[in-house]
Structure 1
Amino acid sequence: MASADQLQFQEFDEAEDLLATTPNATTKSVSEEARPQHATLQMGGDSDGEEGETDQTELLAPQKKTSGFWTFQYYQDLFDVDTSQVLDRIRASFIPMPGRNFVRHHLRNNPDLYGPFWICATLVITVTVVGNLATFIQMHGKPDYNYSPQFHKVTVAGIVIYSYAWLVPLALWGFLQWRKGVSSGVSTYSFMETVCVYGYSLSAYIPSTVLCVVPYEIFRWIILLVAMCLSGFVLIFAFWPHVRRDNKMVAIGTLASIALLHVLLAVGCKEYFFWRVEEQPAAPVTTTPKAHITTQKM
């Protein structure tokens, strides 16, 4: 009690000294100073359209400290991704939606190489193994067929798929960088974001190639065309906002080139790994007439 009375008297003395110097000053008690202060945060309204969503997504995206590409930390960050993020990006590549930009809504300035690397590796395995199995199923039972594993197709598939997932994004990124300097309305992603889009877009081909084991040509074409359309729409929806303000012919030519290379990949894989086995007509059986042997009596 004595300490509380002394504290109160000390407070009164300080207030009296303050009022003596500045009569209009306001004073706060010790209990008011100890009371927690509350701050009010003003939230702005939600913006409409893809552009507003893009700005909000970029603000919510985690900002990572980037390292030089010659350092080990730079490549380590590209594999620093959890399972939920990879599954979300794979799911988005299966269900492309207009107005939902894959890079802005799912990568969020955090591209990774973990997903694209393993998607390409899985696609290489499925397209070669299932293609080999499909050929065996169609040719099994024919007397002139001798089964032999075609290991060279693994090399062919690896070169084609990884070249498509790296060289095509490199060419597209370089072209958009050049157009960005020519036309002010053109923008582009970073090189790793471009590679990430192409890598995840190939995920739709994995289940389609597995289903190609069914030995029906029309069914195979339908499955691969569906996968090609889903995968192609991911690329078109991702890069259209960057080229739509460019020259009309250049914008159409850029999207047409993206689609054409994508179609060539799908058709090439279908014709090389899941080629149609032509039914060879049975050779007619020819019978030679029996020779009549005549013996002459001596």
Structure 2
Amino acid sequence: MTRSVFCSSRNPLPMLTHNIQGDLGHTDLQEDLEFHNSNFSETTPALGKRGGGGGGGASAGLPLPATTSSSSGGSSKRFLWTLSFYAQFFDVDTTSVLARCWAALFPRDSFLDVLEGNPDLYGPFWIATTVVLILFLGGTISAYRASTGAGSFAYDFRLLSGAAGLIYGYTFVIPVALYLALRYFGSESANLLECWALYGYGNLIWIPVAIISWSSINILNWVFVGVGFGVSVAFLLRNLYPILSATDRQTSKVLLILVVALHFGLALAIKILFFAHGSPVSNVGDDKPPPAKEPTRMMF
């Protein structure tokens, strides 16, 4: 027994190998386990190949964030015939539109600061549309009240087309002319979208003015039109003066006078065309021949 113990202690590997084979099965540590040197630089391309992308870095195999994709190449692919080109001008929420409407009626800060570099066409378009509809309704009510007792009343849809041409033309055409004039005289701070936003939100005061356009009190109509003109022209001059002053002194004076004169023409056209009593609207139907009188019958 002493000899066998001596031999087993002298050469213990056969017994250890036999125990491992009996417990774990055949395991060749030298053939199955291989160690390789790696600096972790080859894993990113492999991930990119599995994910379908060929780039490296954090974007390999993963989609780019929405902000990154939109800012890197989205704006360069917007063409005039695509909806995405026009959608960028209406990228504003209801809270921002209401805040800009409030700033237009009760200006405390510069309206360009309220825009925060994101002028929109959503507010100007719907404000102009609302003014057009209210002017048409007010002018129609004025014509109806003026023609009471003169026979049947017919709607004059020329009021609608006239209001649309006047308001839309003033809101969207005049800013283009002003922008081109500023660029011609060397103003680098002129922005067409900001001009549209200023004129569009400046029309907000005409909504309450147009609501009372059916009033039969002529002096009240003149007072409300005067208030609308004063509020809106003060809003325009306050925000356009820093832009107009970028040109030379004489040019800025001429442009200011033109802005005031054109706005006065808008107020006068609204009063003459759409307000009751003393306007052409109230004379609708006056050129009709009077109805023929029936012959008097005498009874004996």
TM range, normalised to the smaller chain?
0.5 to 0.7
Amino acid paired to 1:188: S
**Retained in 1: the 8 A contact 2:216–2:276?**
no
Within the alignment, does 1:177 sit opposite 2:188 as a pair? no
**Retained in 2: the 8 A contact 1:126–1:210?**
yes
- Aligned to 1:147, the other structure's residue is in SS state coil
Amino acid paired to 2:125: F
**Retained in 2: the 8 A contact 1:208–1:223?**
yes
- The structure 1 residue matched to 2:101, chosen from 79, 85, 90, is 90
CA offsets, 1:63-120, max 9 Å, x none?
x9555452432311211211111111111111234xx3211x2111111111111111
- The structure 1 residue matched to 2:173, chosen from 167, 174, 177, is 167
CA spacing shift, 1:243–1:125, aligned 2, 3 Å = same
| 2: CA distance, partners of 1:173 / 1:215 | 40
Q: What is the match of residue 123 of structure 1?
A: 131
- Aligned to 2:190, the other structure's residue is in SS state coil
| 1: CA distance, partners of 2:190 / 2:114 | 14
Q: What is the match of residue 106 of structure 1?
A: 114
CA spacing shift, 1:225–1:91, aligned 2, 3 Å = same
**Retained in 1: the 8 A contact 2:213–2:274?**
no
**Retained in 1: the 8 A contact 2:134–2:210?**
yes
> How far has the Cα of 1:209 moved from its partner?
0.7
Which entry has the higher C-alpha Rg, 1 or 2? Answer: 2
Q: What is the match of residue 16 of structure 2?
A: none
> How far has the Cα of 1:269 moved from its partner?
1.5
- Show the 5 A alignment for 1:44-59: none
Amino acid paired to 1:207: P
Q: What is the match of residue 269 of structure 1?
A: 270
Amino acid paired to 2:224: I
Q: What is the match of residue 79 of structure 1?
A: 90
Amino acid paired to 1:129: L
Q: What is the match of residue 245 of structure 2?
A: 244
| 2: CA distance, partners of 1:222 / 1:157 | 21
Amino acid paired to 2:232: S
> How far has the Cα of 1:196 moved from its partner?
1.2
**Retained in 2: the 8 A contact 1:131–1:213?**
yes
> How far has the Cα of 1:251 moved from its partner?
1.1
Q: What is the match of residue 153 of structure 2?
A: 147
Provide the TM-score with structure 2 as the length reference: 0.64
Amino acid paired to 1:78: F
Alignment root-mean-square deviation, CA: 2.1
Amino acid paired to 2:241: W
> How far has the Cα of 1:245 moved from its partner?
4.6
Amino acid paired to 2:147: M
- Show the 5 A alignment for 1:57-68: 65=71, 66-67=75-76, 68=78
Amino acid paired to 1:150: D
Is the deviation greater in 64-73 or in 237-246?
64-73
Gaps of 5+ in 1: 1-63, 181-185, 281-298
* Matched length: 207
**Retained in 1: the 8 A contact 2:215–2:276?**
no
CA spacing shift, 1:236–1:134, aligned 2, 3 Å = same
> How far has the Cα of 1:137 moved from its partner?
2.2
Amino acid paired to 1:77: Q
> How far has the Cα of 1:145 moved from its partner?
4.7
Within the alignment, does 1:207 sit opposite 2:208 as a pair? yes
Amino acid paired to 2:234: F
- Aligned to 1:276, the other structure's residue is in SS state coil
Amino acid paired to 2:111: F
**Retained in 2: the 8 A contact 1:96–1:230?**
no
Amino acid paired to 2:129: A
| 2: CA distance, partners of 1:82 / 1:139 | 44
Q: What is the match of residue 234 of structure 1?
A: 235
Gaps of 5+ in 2: 1-69, 287-300
